[in-house]
A = this chain, B = another copy of it.
Amino acid sequence: MIYLDNAATTYPKPEQVYDSIMDCMKNYCANPGRAGHKMAMRAAREIYDARENIAKLFNIDNPMNIIFTNNATDSLNLAIKGVVKEGDHIITTSMEHNSVIRPIKSLEARGILNTIVNCDKEGFLDVNDIKNAIKPNTKLIVTTHASNVVGTLVDIKAVGEIAKENNILYLVDASQTAGVYSIDVKDMNVDMIAAPGHKCLLGPQGTGILYIREGLSVDILKEGGTGSKSEDLFQPEIVPDRYESGTHNTPGIAGLNEGVKFILEKGIDDIRLHEEELCQYMLDKLEEIPNIKIYGTKDSKKRAAVIAINIGDMDSGEITFILDSEYDIATRSGIHCAPLAHKTLGTLEQGAVRFSLGYFNTKEEIDKAVEALKEISKNN
């Protein structure tokens, strides 16, 4: 199988990710923070170590500002719903995933309205459109860092600047970038970052993170046991406990920690350069095939390694089916949980075939995918 569905979840993971999950499960998988015995303390130390490594990746001073969640959707719901109240206004973009759009749309019923800024047909955001959408009651700006459909990058530093100037909170959905693109929360004026653990951070499914800036208090969606202030019938204010009720996914976080350590060791720039190179290589090859429509910019410096295409009027699902069944190549077709992005790109009807590349992909695999597309294009 040639796996080109890394925007959904990265596969494979570095070997040490698998090893650390099994080491945790077999040797010290007690309940962290819930008891004082050796196994529970080792589990708690591993979780703290993961917080430290993740904090390094984003230039975050205090590791306790990293909250563990179970996926990016969990992080985004907490972040979005936790900072707005009735009468507030939210700005977001037309390139967002449903994990951003659906929570924001659900808030309309609670009197929290929104403006969805349109991006251009390649998915680019004009940051002036964000500025122009600001109202006196704007409380929050939410943007993706890169489109999950077409990879188009958002200049999050420029948006962060606008947010700061206008005293508005800024939440970045880094689902497609955390672990590949540098995000410096201080330099970029980012108040919150949501990211899955199982995509570019190379951890397992069942993990997600939310960074919440020091001093920013976010209303919570759930309460429960935290292992702290157990005598209290109300949720404790201690961070991160306040946000992390119930038992952690300790083996998952141990695996995520190894994924992040892998990134820190390889260097995020080297990882990005590899993905950029592969992406440019594939874009250039695809341009040689007649009848293929490539969405978004042809410059891999301006997009994450996510490539969306169509072949003539062919159903995108059919292309993905042929790639899978005849060529053993894994891609995704249809509407990628981001209907407004498809509307922006003009692919709401046809959907698109998405090739999302990862650190472990090779030029040989890209060659095979391009050859397959050539044949499919010729035969249809």
Contacts and interface: CB of A to CB of B under 8 A. Distances in A.
A71 interface: yes
A39 B11 contact: yes
Interface residues of A, number: 87
Interface string A25-54: 110011100111111100000000000000
Given A3-B39, A21-B25, A81-B222, 17 more contacts: A8-B35, A8-B40, A8-B247, A9-B31, A11-B29, A12-B26, A18-B25, A36-B321, A36-B324, A38-B330, A40-B330, A73-B224, A73-B246, A99-B223, A103-B222, A105-B233, A230-B334
Contacts of A252: 205-206, 249, 252
A74 B223 contact: no
Interface string A183-213: 0000000000000101000001111100000
B106 A5 contact: no
Interface string A80-114: 01000000000000000111011101100000000
B18 A26 contact: yes
B336 A224 contact: no
A372 interface: no
B18 A102 contact: no
Contacts of A9: 29-31, 247
A35 B98 contact: no
Contacts of A40: 5, 8, 330, 332
A324 B249 contact: no
Interface of A: 1, 3, 5, 8-9, 11-13, 18, 21-22, 25-26, 29-31, 34-40, 70-74, 76-77, 81, 97-99, 101-103, 105-106, 196, 198, 204-208, 221-227, 230-235, 245-252, 317, 320-321, 323-324, 328-340, 342, 348
A350 to B, nearest CB: 12
A206 B101 contact: no
Given A102-B234, A102-B235, A222-B74, A250 B205 contact: yes
A31 B3 CA distance: 12
A198 B30 CA distance: 10
